[in-house]
């Protein structure tokens, strides 16, 4: 199964240039940590991105929670991502008809397409949403952009399960140029009768925390180790890192746990 291959082995055979770049970053920096930087001012967001940048492969944003979003936010994110060599992932969770999401992705006040390497979308509205985002990505000239399908969610009572999750995988298979993988709690696509031999989706897992089991609003956590053992490729952690007393110590702890679990997996 693909999961025993190293990031560099997977990069070699991968058709998607953004995935190749992501794997190369992971390998070079020895990290599979994605920081969910849910800060609410530009200053705080850029400060945490700068101090934790050396330890992460991707910075995940919720750009619409910033109280002071401006051109400086975009420029600051692009600068810090370049300085520390990580990708930008806007956790936008697109969920509308294709015509609307194209406008939300390409235009609007937030101009997500201009700066976010990765975005995510839900298939609740059907395949058209992915078709619409895929069109934007394919029309993009030389920009490398990727889409993650939200195949599962970590919150209690999530309805993104079963048939919904299976449909997410089926739709992903139709858009190999743009869909790079899933946000899910575990590996979804290996050993399926429909999977092509070269198929290699990247699994991003939210709800990762070393010291907590959940929060008061339905969030449910697993540890870096259980996530990697379940077939995750990249671990998304927010409060476990940025809200820790010492975020640098915390991010290094997640980096170490995630990387050691990855090394155990590829050594199997």
User: Which long-range contacts (C-beta less than 8 Å, at least 24 apart) are formed by 242-249?
Assistant: 242/35, 242/36, 242/37, 242/38, 242/39, 242/48, 242/52, 247/48, 247/51, 247/52, 248/51, 248/52, 248/55
C-beta of residue 38 within 8 angstroms of C-beta of residue 238? yes
- Across 15-145, where does the E strand assignment appear? 33-36, 58-61, 87-94, 118-121
Confirm or deny that 154 is annotated as ligand binding. yes
244-261 core/surface letters (b: 16 or more CB in 10 A; e: else): beebeebbbbbbebbbeb
The DSSP output letter for 63 is: G
User: Mask: binding to ligand 5BU, 147-166, rule CB under 6 A, as x and -?
Assistant: ---x--xx------------
12 is catalytic: no
Confirm or deny that 239 is annotated as ligand binding. yes
Annotated catalytic residue, options 21, 30, 50, 93: 93
What tokens does 62 get?
């919720």
Among positive and negative, which fits the CA dihedral 203, 149, 22, 195? positive
Annotated catalytic residue, options 21, 30, 50, 96: 96
Q: Residue 5 Cβ, how far from ligand 5BU at the closest point, in Å?
A: 25
Q: Residue 224 Cβ, how far from ligand 5BU at the closest point, in Å?
A: 12
What tokens does 59 get?
């910075």
Stretch that binds ligand 5BU, among 105-113, 187-195, 233-241, 258-266 (CB under 6 A): 233-241
Q: What are phi and psi of 59, to 5 degrees?
A: -110, 125
**Does 239 help bind ligand 5BU (rule: CB under 6 A)?**
yes
User: Mask: binding to ligand 5BU, 48-77, rule CB under 6 A, as x and -?
Assistant: --------------x---------------
Site for ligand 5BU in 195-214 (CB under 6 A): 206-207, 209
Stretch that binds ligand 5BU, among 6-14, 102-110, 163-171, 232-240 (CB under 6 A): 232-240
Q: What residue ranges bind ligand 5BU (CB under 6 A)?
A: 36, 38, 62, 91, 150, 153-154, 183, 206-207, 209, 219, 236-240
Known binding positions? 38, 60, 154, 219, 238-239
Residues with catalytic roles: 91, 93, 96
């Amino acid at each position: 199964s693909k999961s025993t291959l190293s990031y560099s082995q997977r990069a070699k055979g991968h058709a998607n240039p953004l995935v190749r770049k992501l794997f190369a970053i992971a390998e070079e920096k020895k990290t599979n940590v994605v920081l969910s930087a849910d800060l609410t001012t530009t200053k705080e967001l850029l400060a945490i991105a700068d101090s934790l940048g050396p330890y992460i492969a991707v910075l995940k944003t919720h750009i619409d929670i910033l109280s002071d979003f401006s051109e400086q936010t975009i420029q600051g994110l692009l600068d810090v991502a370049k300085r520390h060599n990580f990708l930008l992932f806007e956790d936008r969770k697109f969920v509308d008809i294709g015509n609307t999401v194209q406008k939300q992705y390409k235009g609007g006040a937030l101009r997500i397409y201009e700066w976010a390497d990765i975005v995510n979308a839900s298939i609740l509205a059907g395949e058209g949403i992915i078709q619409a985002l895929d069109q934007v990505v394919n029309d993009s000239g030389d920009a490398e952009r990727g889409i993650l399908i939200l195949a599962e969610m970590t919150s209690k009572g999530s309805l993104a399960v079963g048939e919904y999750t299976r449909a997410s995988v089926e739709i992903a298979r139709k858009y190999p140029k743009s869909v790079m993988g899933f946000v899910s709690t575990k590996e979804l696509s290996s050993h399926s009768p429909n999977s092509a031999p070269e198929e290699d989706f990247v699994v991003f897992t939210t709800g990762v925390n070393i010291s907590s089991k959940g929060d008061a609003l339905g969030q449910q956590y697993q540890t870096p180790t259980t996530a990697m053992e379940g077939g995750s490729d990249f671990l998304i952690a927010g409060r476990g890192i940025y809200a820790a007393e010492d975020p640098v110590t915390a991010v290094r702890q997640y980096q170490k746990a995630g990387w050691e679990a990855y090394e155990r997996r590829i050594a199997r």
